[in-house]
Amino acid sequence: GAVVSQHPSRVICKSGTSVKIECRSLDFQATTMFWYRQFPKQSLMLMATSNEGSKATYEQGVEKDKFLINHASLTLSTLTVTSAHPEDSSFYICSARRYLGASLNSPLHFGNGTRLTVT
Amino acid sequence: GENVEQHPSTLSVQEGDSAVIKCTYSDSASNYFPWYKQELGKGPQLIIDIRSNVGEKKDQRIAVTLNKTAKHFSLHITETQPEDSAVYFCAASTAQGGSEKLVFGKGMKLTVNP
């Protein structure tokens, strides 16, 4: 089946530093990837849509300069949290859509998430 | 925009019992409804999905039903096992010009007691 790999699974960084999270689709090409943020015991909040070869689309309230997204290839998207602060500590999850051709609503597969702790 | 409501927020059952999770959605244009299972510290895993041209879909112990008129859909798990314990999310999506966003419910924590 489809596999989405996310790395690292956990990261601890100091306030003011930047952290890069990678999301890879391992056995399919993904023209679109999504980045979510999840707080404890809460649902997934969509942060941005990453489109291969073009700029990401950010949801309202998400700072594009703080959460830099790059989707340089059909199998890799990266999220960089710049100048991280303790309030950025969260569980970040990427997902990739496996395109099923002309059919609508291709399945969305998730990575295993990255637990970011900013001290 | 789309709004997905999910209930109950928690459910505890005995092993072997059935569990039902219900969701409602607001946008009648939504046409795709996946269900995800999330275990502690992991990302959500797609377990089953249903499209608006189908009323019911079954995969072993898991089944999903969709009522487009009432705008609600449900996940049914039969013969529950302890490994079914997890948080389950429903979601709805509308395909609009290729831009398909999933809107998630708030999740339901299922505990299956041995």
For B34-58, how does the pLDDT look when each residue is reduced to its tens digit (9 = 90+)? Answer: 999 999 989 999 999 998 888 999 9
Distance between CA atoms of residues A52 and A56, nearest Å: 9
Check A43 against B36: CB less than 8 A apart.
no
Residue A113: closest C-alpha in chain B: B43
Residues of A with Cβ-Cβ distance to B111 under 8 angstroms: none
Task: State pLDDT tens for residues A12-43.
Answer: 999 999 999 999 999 888 888 999 999 888 89
Residue B26, CA distances (Å) to A30, A43, B6, B94 in order: 29, 18, 12, 11
The answer, yes or no, to whether residue B77 has pLDDT greater than 70, is: yes
Closest CA relative to residue B76, chosen from B23, B2, B10, B5: B23
